[in-house]
Amino acid sequence: MLLEIENLLRLQEADKAIRRLQDEIAELPKRVAAIEHKLADTKAQLEKAQGAVKADESARRKYDTTITDLRSKISKYRDQSLDVKTNEQYKALLHEIQFAEKEIAATEDKILELMVNADARDKEVKAAQAELKAEAAEIEKEKIEARQRTAEDEKQLAEWRAKRDQMRAGVNEDLLRHYERVSKFRGSGISEVLDHKCMACQVMLRPQTYNDVRTGQQTVVCDSCQRILYFNPANEMLALEPEHKRSRRHHPKIDAPQAWYYRQEFGDAGEVFVCFNNASGQATRRVFDMHTGRLIGDILSREGDFRHSFPEDITGAIRLNGSWTENEMETWGTEMPMTALDALHVDLEAAQYEMRTRTSGKSEKPATIPTEQAAS
């Protein structure tokens, strides 16, 4: 890999770290502001509750005055009643007194109501005060944390910036300018090539471009996304190795006249490949040792379709891809050729991989290859 590419990769790492830190630093005051907003709400609630208490208190004072006034009126009427001349006048005064007494009773009811309410008001104020206190403590804690985190972030930021400057010095100016322009628009300026593709934009490379990236003699940019491309042989190996397992396996046709199966056990023979052929109302069966390819026992023929004639051989077996003509198989004699044996092994491996991935949530990771078919 070119030294410049290595520098660019480190530069990209530094750029990413810087962006993350900057985002975090910008985010912290927002969190504090959100709590401050809540604090202001609680304060307003407390003020409202306190205001209600004050209003009640002033109402109470007003009612007290009203009662005092009414009482003095009553005593005035009583004094007057001593001096009245007529019955009519006396009745009128008595009426005034009764009216004032009723008003006193009504006002006293209102005072009682206020006293009952006062308990609830008091609770509201106390709750708001407690909440305010808790929030104030929380905001202090958050502020301290935010300050510490920001200081730590700033420190890291300074370190990354120093690193970035160092990396920039190790890249030629034109390349650096290109990297920064692409980074600015796309968030990254350099991309790995794996399996002929730019990993950032997933577009296939032209063969010439791919070769240029592979040889690493010059810097190459992606035609599609303009990112600077690089190639890491170690990653390429990892990506290509399970290729045949990752690609979708071809599935044998259900009604094919020839069918191959893998059986884990076949009498004393252990693992075998079984081949069935349907021809002119007859089904024939051949059994091969899966490791040596040797024919086991005789070729068996039965009336009808193999599915109906040899059900005991199919149950629990794995269906494989394989198609050789009857004539071809005649030439095999008692041993199938290595090419045929290898093809069946590869397909069995793919089938087993497929079964494993189907049951284990379609993992794309290369699974370990079972050892049985690796043995000769």
Site residues (CB under 5 A) for Zn ion? Answer: 198, 200-201, 222, 224-225
Find the shortest distance in angstroms from Cβ 201 to Zn ion.
3
Query: What are the structure tokens assigned to 40, written together?
Result: 């202001």
The conformational region for residue 195 under phi > 0 = left, psi -120 to 50 = alpha, else beta, is: left
Nearer to Zn ion, 202 or 215 (CB): 202
Is there a contact between 322 and 258 (Cβ–Cβ < 8 Å)?
A: yes
Is there a contact between 19 and 160 (Cβ–Cβ < 8 Å)?
A: no
Q: Which residues contact 199 (CB under 8 A, 6 or more apart)?
A: 191, 192, 193
Tally of CB atoms within 10 A around 145: 13
Find the shortest distance in angstroms from Cβ 253 to Zn ion.
40
Nearer to Zn ion, 166 or 211 (CB): 211
Is there a contact between 320 and 349 (Cβ–Cβ < 8 Å)?
A: no
Nearer to Zn ion, 182 or 341 (CB): 182
User: Hunting for tokens 């010059």 — which residue is that?
Assistant: 218
Find the shortest distance in angstroms from Cβ 202 to Zn ion.
8
Is there a contact between 172 and 4 (Cβ–Cβ < 8 Å)?
A: yes
Find the shortest distance in angstroms from Cβ 227 to Zn ion.
5
Nearer to Zn ion, 200 or 341 (CB): 200
Find the shortest distance in angstroms from Cβ 286 to Zn ion.
52
Find the shortest distance in angstroms from Cβ 196 to Zn ion.
12
Nearer to Zn ion, 35 or 201 (CB): 201
Nearer to Zn ion, 175 or 329 (CB): 175
Mind giving me the DSSP string for 127-170?
A: HHHHHHHHHHHHHHHHHHHHHHHHHHHHHHHHHHHHHHHHHHHT
